[in-house]
Amino acid sequence: SQQGEEDPQALSIQEGENATMNCSYKTSINNLQWYRQNSGRGLVHLILIRSNEREKHSGRLRVTLDTSKKSSSLLITASRAADTASYFCAGERNTGFQKLVFGTGTRLLVSP
């Protein structure tokens, strides 16, 4: 079964606008991590939010976590063309050896 879903699946915005991506998950997690992937490339870790945190900031990134709704959001402020990529959320399971369960991803396109 799919453990993580992001919406929207694709998002197209202009430079300078904010981009918001949402993620839902189904099982209990230790933390939720957001990754970025440029087309056909590796996964770059962006930010981690622990299950006892509600909001976290890192530069132009703001992440929220609502464990009661099993959802998270990633906000990129003042987007740039270089932010164009796919963004994945990944929940770290709190059983076993903390494998990550990835969502389906949001493809973000930022036009100059």
Partner 1 sequence: EPEVTQTPSHQVTQMGQEVILRCVPISNHLYFYWYRQILGQKVEFLVSFYNNEISEKSEIFDDQFSVERPDGSNFTLKIRSTKLEDSAMYFCASRETSRLSNEQFFGPGTRLTVL
Instruction: List interacting residues with partner 1 (CB under 8 A).
Output: 2, 4, 30-31, 33, 35, 40-45, 48, 50, 88, 90, 92, 96-105
In the complex with partner 1, the residue whose CB is nearer, 42 or 112, is 42
Listed in sequence order, the residues at least 6 apart from 106 whose beta carbon sits closer than 8 Å to its beta carbon are 6, 7, 8, 9, 10, 11, 21, 86, 87, 88
In the complex with partner 1, the residue whose CB is nearer, 34 or 79, is 34
In a 3-state reduction of DSSP, which class is residue 15? Answer: coil
Give CA–CA dist 11/102, Å, rounded.
Answer: 19
Work out how close the CB of 89 gets to partner 1 at its nearest, in angstroms, rounded to a whole number. 10
In the complex with partner 1, the residue whose CB is nearer, 79 or 106, is 106
